[in-house]
Amino acid sequence: MRIAVTGSSGLVGSALVRSLTADGHDVVRLVRRPPGRPDEVRWDPHAGTVDTASLGPVDAAVHLAGAGIGDKRWTAAYKRELRDSRVLGTEAVSRALAALEPAPHVLLAGSAMGYYGDTGDREVDESSPPGSGFLADLCTEWEAATAPALEAGIRVAHLRTGLVVSRSGGAWGRMFPLFKAGLGGRLGSGRQYWSFISLVDEVAAIRHVLDRADLAGPVNLTAPHPVTNAEATRAMGRALHRPTVFAVPPFALRAVLGDFADEILTGQRVLPKTLLDSGFTFRHPTIDTAIAAALNR
Contact status, residue 275 vs residue 219, Cβ threshold 8 Å? yes
What is the structure's pLDDT at 124?
A: 98
Q: What is the pLDDT of residues 10-39, one digit of tens each?
A: 999 999 999 999 999 999 999 999 999 999
- Biggest distance spanned by C-alpha atoms of the chain: 58
- Give the span between the Cα atoms of 50 and 96, in whole angstroms: 6
ω before 57 within 30° of 0 (cis)? no
Angle, alpha carbons 226-231-235 (nearest 5°): 105
Secondary structure (DSSP) of 84-149: HHHHHHHHHHHHHHHHSSSPPSEEEEEEEGGGG---TT-EE-TTSPP--SHHHHHHHHHHHTTHHH
C-alpha gyration radius of the chain = 19
The CATH number covering residue 187 comes to: 3.40.50.720
- Give the span between the Cα atoms of 83 and 61, in whole angstroms: 21
Residue 112 has pLDDT above 70, yes or no: yes
H or E element at residue 72: none
- 104 secondary structure, DSSP code: P
**Amino acid found at 169:** G
67 vs 270: which has the higher pLDDT? 270
**Amino acid found at 4:** A
Q: What is the pLDDT of residues 196-223, one digit of tens each?
A: 999 999 999 999 999 999 999 999 999 9
**Amino acid found at 211:** D
Number of domains in the chain: 1
Mean pLDDT of 85-101: 96
Mean pLDDT of 113-126: 96
Average pLDDT, the chain: 94
Range of the domain at 209: 2-296
Pairing mode, if any, of strands 40-44 and 49-50? antiparallel
* C-beta atoms surrounding 292 within 10 Å: 16
Q: What is the pLDDT of residues 65-76, one digit of tens each?
A: 999 887 788 889
**How far out from the chain centre does Cα 20 lie?**
18
This prediction has a pTM of 0.95
pLDDT bin (cut points 50, 70, 90) of residue 97 is: very high
- Report the DSSP beta bridge partners of residue 167: none
Q: Which residues of 90-124 are buried (b: 16+ CB within 10 A; e: fewer)?
A: bbbbbbbbbebeebbebbbbbbbbbbbbbbeeeeb
